[in-house]
Amino acid sequence: MDELDSALVTLLQRDARQTNRELARALGIAPSTCLERVRALHRRGVIVGHHAKVDLSRIGRPVQALVAVRLRPPNRPVIESFQQFVTQLPETLSVFVVSGAEDFLIHVAVRDTEHLHAFVLDHLTQRREIADVRTSVVFQHMHKPVAEPLPGRSAPSDRRGRGGYGGPDGDGR
């Protein structure tokens, strides 16, 4: 990625609804150049989607929590089965498979603390492979809307096949 690609990615992360002409004008390049660059960023997998950011409170889900889960036995079939289960739950926003004391960190958004309590009791603790669950209510959630390439080494050109989840907004946004 060169400076122009980085600038395009930054502008699109701030507002993906900008027209090609607006992007080209902001960067001082021809619209045809801009269009080809954006298409190339899509082809290379740098841009993987366009998402609408939603105010969770306005859709009736103002309470967020991080739920840490430890599984037993921690083997591939158990982890993959739980991963598939938890990503299908409507309360789930993001799922992180992590190292350390827990196996999963689940970001959820619910109506209220009663709903959160029911989610943990009715969905999680009912599963036999769950060894431990710890829930932390989120008081504030700050999200950096723009992820810029870090200085130094360039990123691998193809990150597909390495697993993981984007967040509810693709990146976790």
pLDDT digits 0-9 by tens, 69-87: 999 998 999 999 999 999 9
pLDDT digits 0-9 by tens, 142-169: 988 888 878 876 655 544 443 433 333 3
User: Across the beta sheet with 63-71, what order do the strands follow?
Assistant: 92-97, 104-110, 63-71, 130-138
Specify whether 61 is located in the same domain as 133.
yes
Q: Which amino acid is at 48?
A: V
Specify whether 23 is located in the same domain as 68.
no
Q: In whole angstroms, how far apart are CA 2 and each of 9, 42, 154? A: 11, 15, 9
Asked if residue 21 belongs to a domain, the reply is yes
Specify whether 38 is located in the same domain as 109.
no
Asked if residue 161 belongs to a domain, the reply is no
Domain span at residue 66?
56-138
Task: Collect contacts of 29-32 with beta carbons under 8 A, ≥24 apart.
Answer: 29/4
Residue 148 is classified by DSSP as: P
Has this prediction a pTM greater than 0.85?
A: no
Rounded to whole angstroms, how far apart are CA atoms 128 and 134?
Answer: 16
